[in-house]
Amino acid sequence: MGLKDTQQLSYVGYTGRHPYTTDAFSHGFLPGYREDGGYQLDGLPNVDLPVGFLDNDFHDPDMDRYLDAFTRIEPSVAAVGDAYTEEQAKDMDEAVGQLRDDYPHNTFVVVPKCEEAFEILDNDIVLGYANGYSDIQAEDLGLEKYRGREVHILGSSPTQQYKAIQQLTQPNLRDDPPANIKGVDWNGAHKGAYFGEYWSRNGWQPADHLSIRETVEESLKEVKAYWQDKGLWPETEPKDIYGGPYTEPDDPVFAASGRDIDSKEKLETSHIGEYDGNTYAFESATAKRFVEHREGLF
């Protein structure tokens, strides 16, 4: 039985800020940010993103702070933290156990950074597979420890993530059970964009002709196509559950001025009004109030 027959990603995460997470959500990724961050959507009245993936601040980990953020945001996938010691593994296992009472359907990820963590962490906890810039890599602890468990691949490019998936799911001489790969996340697209490149299935490509936002979006398209080619892209995308990142008017023009809405930026800064089943966009809150007053639309 091949990889395509046995695996299906539940989500592909992308963490960061607008506009990258907005575009990622539009293309079917699960958006999110680190607990100490946000999407930075101030001044964008027509953008609304769910926090599907809540990452932790690995530079300054604080379990209480993270749990406060979780209960406030209620993400569907929570990367709780890295367990470097037996004590940390026990604390995280206990914390997730308590959260499960109120959030039985959420996904909780803990990253083992010591051998003791594999024995301590409950089987309901998804094991984070350190695959990027981590000081301790998953391979340092032994790949066999992840097999037979649910796993989230953290970091590195899609090609490297796919190699990890193969190592964790293909038959081996020990006849270990395959891991169940729940999801992956990678936010390297915007980092590459600042160097003038986008990620593609054929390697990094020059993007001197594109803006930073357009460069990141090219990477997002290629990442999605890569997983689709492998037959692993999620069957249900987050936008199918939550709806799109913005409300689109019935006609791509501003109701008061008649000017075209010919860019994402204009759509995102629009003020939307719905009247008698019709959806209109306005260039400003003032224009919206003026038309509502003039037409008696309240």
The phi-psi region of residue 93 (left if phi > 0; otherwise alpha if psi is between -120 and 50; otherwise beta) is alpha
Which alpha helices (DSSP H) does the chain contain, by range? 3-6, 20-26, 63-73, 86-102, 116-120, 138-141, 158-169, 188-193, 212-229, 238-242, 264-268, 285-295
The tens digit of pLDDT for each residue in 202-226 reads: 999 999 999 999 999 999 999 999 9
CA atoms of 55 and 107, how far apart (whole Å)? 12
- pTM here? 0.94
Q: Please answer whether residues 109 and 66 qualify as being in contact, where contact means their C-beta atoms are separated by less than 8 angstroms.
A: no
**Residue-range domains of the chain with CATH:** 3-242 (3.20.20), 247-298 (no CATH)
Report pLDDT for 235.
95
Report pLDDT for 3.
56
Q: CA geometry: angle at 238 spanning 218 and 77, to 5°?
A: 105
Report pLDDT for 17.
96
Report pLDDT for 6.
62
- Per-run averaged pLDDT (10 residues), the chain, 298 residues: 66 97 98 95 96 91 92 96 95 95 96 96 96 84 95 94 96 93 94 94 95 97 98 96 95 94 96 94 94 77
